[in-house]
Amino acid sequence: MIQEVQQFKADFFKALAHPLRIRILEVLSEGDRTVNELQALLGSEGSAVSQQLAVLRSKNVVVGTKDGTSVIYALRDPLIKDLLKVARQIFDNHLINAISLLENIKNQ
């Protein structure tokens, strides 16, 4: 069982391992969107957004719901929003540490 959980985690983090996919998830954490809306908000080509959404769907990170001729995408699990927030906090901590180190070097 532990090995299955570790494999799930590895696959999950692989699904997140692309800057555009992270940005898509950040936008979807603010609300559900169609591909066209995502494309406009991200300033990216529709094919690139569609490709990255396909990866996220295949890994069960997002879900698409048909609405007429459009597909509306949403986060499969709302905890992804919290995960992105924690990742940002970790980044901020690393940045604070780097700034502190540079200030110490500068003041020597």
The CATH number of whichever domain residue 55 belongs to comes to 1.10.10.10
Domain-located, residue 97 = no
Domain-located, residue 106 = no
| pTM across the whole model | 0.83
Residues 24 and 32: their CA atoms lie apart, in Å, by 11
Residue 80: how many other CB atoms lie within 10 Å: 19
Domain-located, residue 103 = no
Domain-located, residue 39 = yes
User: How many structural domains comprise the chain?
Assistant: 1
Residue 64 domain boundaries: 2-76
Domain-located, residue 34 = yes
Which pLDDT tens digit goes with each residue over 52-91?
A: 999 999 999 999 999 999 999 999 999 999 999 999 998 8
Domain-located, residue 56 = yes
Q: Exposed, middle or buried, 98 (CB in 10 Å: 0-12/13-18/19+)?
A: exposed
Domain-located, residue 32 = yes
